[in-house]
Amino acid sequence: MGFRSLWSQLQKRDDKGTSSFGKLRNKMHTLCCRCGSKACHLQKSTCGKCGYPAKCKRKYNWSAKAKRHNTTGTDRMRHLKIVYRRFRHGFCEEQHPNPREQLLWHPVHLKDFND
């Protein structure tokens, strides 16, 4: 048996064991901790959807539908929904009615005024 025939047999051999497990690194994108999509590149360590870890969120003006997916109001709005509520009442903060005035307008006291 010559060297060439031995070499060709070694090349043809299909390994399904230990040597195959080194080739399993085929997932380049994982879940992003900011936007939750599977677009975070492991080697570049940047997200293709939101641009994490960049300070500003990734957005371009070439897609109207992409803007609708990611605009204000599509998420929790933890702070803004409180601001909207305060705006409706003119940003009045902690103005409780005086308890003495409340007692004056109580129905029991109104009877005294009517007599």
Tell me whether residue 21 is in a domain: no
Of 80, 63, 62, which is closest to residue 72 (Cα–Cα)? 80
Number of domains in the chain: 1
Query: Per the domain annotation, does 60 fall within a domain?
Result: yes
**Is position 12 within any domain?**
no
CB-based contact 67:60 (threshold 8 Å): no
- Tally the residues of the chain: 115
Q: How far is CA 78 from CA 19, 73, 75, in A?
A: 51, 10, 9
Q: How far apart are CA 49 and CA 32, in angstroms?
A: 9
22 assigned to some structural domain: no
In a domain, 64, yes or no: yes
Contact at 8 Å (CB) between 45 and 28? no
pLDDT score at 31: 97
Give tens-digit pLDDT for 1-52: 566 665 566 566 667 777 777 777 789 999 999 999 999 999 999 999 999 9
Domain range for 67: 27-114
pTM of the model: 0.51
Please check whether residue 5 lies inside any domain of the structure.
no
Residue 11 placed within a domain: no
CATH number at residue 58: 2.20.25.30
Helices (H), ranges, the chain: 3-12, 64-70, 80-88, 99-104, 107-114
- Residue 77: the pLDDT is 94
Q: What CA–CA distance (Å, rounded) separates 15 from 6? A: 16
Unique residue bearing structure tokens 């677009």? 39
Q: Does residue 6 form part of some domain?
A: no
pLDDT of the residue at 110: 59
Task: Point out the least confidently predicted range of 39-43, 92-96, 104-108.
Answer: 104-108
pLDDT in tens, 50-87: 999 999 999 899 999 988 988 899 889 999 999 999 99
